[in-house]
Amino acid sequence: MKWYVLRRLGISVLTLVLSTMVIFVAVRLLPGDTAQVMAGESADAGVVAAIRAEYGLNQPWPVQYLQWIGHALRGDLGTSAGTGLSVAGALAARLPVTLELAVLAVLIAVAIALPLGQLAAVHRGTARDYLPTTGSLIGLSVPHFWLGLLLILTFSVNLGWLPASGYVPFSQSPVGNLSRMIMPASVLGIGLAAVLMRQMRSAMLEALGSDYIRTARAKGLSERVVVGVHALRNALTTVVTVLGLELGALISGVVITEQIFVIPGLGKMTLDSVFSRDYTGLQGVVLLTATAYIVINFLVDVTYSLLNPRIRVGAGAS
């Protein structure tokens, strides 16, 4: 187990290093000059040159990369070329917002997907299968933007139950926080639930058709124990893997939702950084997202190996 974890850790670090290179190059391949965007379209060449010098944009790419990595390792992600604010400070302020949104979305998704996935699998071919399956198809098909506006129009404009937008820290007002987060978390959660529910149903069907389930039933175990303990545990290994991948995607996929609900999270920062060609801001936010993705995958791998010991044995034998 120890070697398995260490090897996975090594792969994660290597992936992270390669990610930083890709991030660095990718943002510079975007058309448009960040110094020109900062200086304004009508700016003199002298002003553009001064900005380029100040932000080190006149240095060769390898030098810029090493400077960025060197500073990043010390926790300094630079100053936003767009707003002049500290990138690390902006990320520190925005990360908890996006994390809260992601966690709430996952909770909503899991609360919907696991019971419905089980229900659909156990009652395969009946109405209790068709209804959740059709619901998941709708959940997959509905665009976040449309669903978000629909929720705002219903619950904020027409019913007046929830605020339409904005963010209040939980520490400042738990009610204010949750009343503003429930709609965006639901938008994200419904999409995620659709994916998880289908995975859950497939995994449960596979588990329920396995030999060990037949054996368990032959031994006279109750259906509740067979489904809720034996089948569920095995089905969860697949679902946890998918959840991990989806969680990473969720953190990077909040762009639209944060735009609709005016939530000052990482998604909105990503979009703003792209449009303002804010290299430092964009590098910071993508680096953080990539790191989150890699760490989550690492944790999923470890969790997966705990749930299914054959994984680490197989990995060790290879």
| Binding interface with another protein (CB under 8 A) | 30-33, 36-47, 50-51, 54, 80, 82-85, 90, 93-94, 149, 152-153, 156-157, 160, 163-166, 259-260, 262, 264, 268-269, 272, 275-277
Name the β-bridge partners of 79: 86
Min. distance of Cβ 107 from another protein in angstroms? 25
Considering beta carbons, is residue 39 or 121 the nearer one to another protein? Answer: 39
Considering beta carbons, is residue 82 or 189 the nearer one to another protein? Answer: 82
- Reported as type and span, the H/E element at residue 98 is helix 87-122
Considering beta carbons, is residue 39 or 108 the nearer one to another protein? Answer: 39
Helix axes 174-208, 232-252, angle to 10 degrees: 140
Min. distance of Cβ 270 from another protein in angstroms? 12
Considering beta carbons, is residue 6 or 157 the nearer one to another protein? Answer: 157
Token representation of residue 142 = 């509905």
Considering beta carbons, is residue 118 or 289 the nearer one to another protein? Answer: 289
Min. distance of Cβ 272 from another protein in angstroms? 6
Distance CA 235, CA 305 (A): 14
Distance CA 16, CA 22 (A): 10
Considering Cα of 149, then 155, then 159, then 161, what sign does the dihedral take?
negative
Min. distance of Cβ 78 from another protein in angstroms? 14
Considering beta carbons, is residue 37 or 195 the nearer one to another protein? Answer: 37
Token representation of residue 207 = 């588990």
Residue 242 per-residue DSSP state: H
DSSP 211-234: HHHHHHHHTT--HHHIIIIIIHHH
Min. distance of Cβ 185 from another protein in angstroms? 17
Considering beta carbons, is residue 37 or 116 the nearer one to another protein? Answer: 37
Distance CA 269, CA 60 (A): 26
Min. distance of Cβ 147 from another protein in angstroms? 13
Distance CA 310, CA 315 (A): 8
Distance CA 84, CA 38 (A): 10
